[in-house]
Structure 1
Amino acid sequence: MEKDRYRFFVAAEDQAAAGRASQALADTLRELDPVLDVERQKADAATMDLGTIVNVIATSGATLAIAQGVAGWLRARKGASITIEVDGSAGSVKAVVAGVDAEAAVRIAEIIRS
């Protein structure tokens, strides 16, 4: 079974908000069927927080489900922005998504995958 790796960098108006948003994103993505593993990572090893980077390992057909999960997460967090890195078998892709509606986020994720 092929696996894709996604990395989400979450930014918000302050570090506490970014931490809460990262946890919510990790929880949202963890509930999706094609997602195999989700973990948070620190952007700065010197900090005490759990980190604002969310690493996801999913089956190779998981892009649409993940895009819908991210869209739902964005709907609830108008002030958050997210940078998405995809490391699939075809290579790496990076996109920054901020201040867009949920439908646009889904379209962006579909474009990234294709």
Structure 2
Amino acid sequence: MAWTIQEALKDESIEKTEVTGEGYSFWLKGISTEISVVLSVNPINQGFNFKLSHYIKAPTQIYKYTPSRPWGDDEAYALHLAITAITKHYKDAVREGHSPSTSWLIPNKI
């Protein structure tokens, strides 16, 4: 399946999205923290790199999740990978009955 930007931003866990000068921002339902995704061209892999402003460590996780492959073949797929790096764990925790919390988001210090 070829992703589009609109499909990547249409995740059910997302309350609001915004286009920024460097990529996109989104907010999870029940969490007021802005999560930014910076996208940049990857000249080596000929795709797009992504950098998240935050990682997630929900109550269902032992450690925060940091993507091992922070790039995608095209801009839309890179955005999809960035968003799901957060929303997958968010959904798991909510599904298990945990209430969303800003404490789940760990700032990316790099």
Confirm or deny a common fold (TM above 0.5). no
Determine which structure has the larger helix proportion and give its number. Answer: 1
Q: Normalising TM by the smaller chain, what interval?
A: 0.3 to 0.5
Structure possessing the higher relative contact order (Cα contacts under 8 Å, 6 or more residues apart): 1
Q: TM-score, normalised by structure 2?
A: 0.33
Q: TM-score, normalised by structure 1?
A: 0.32
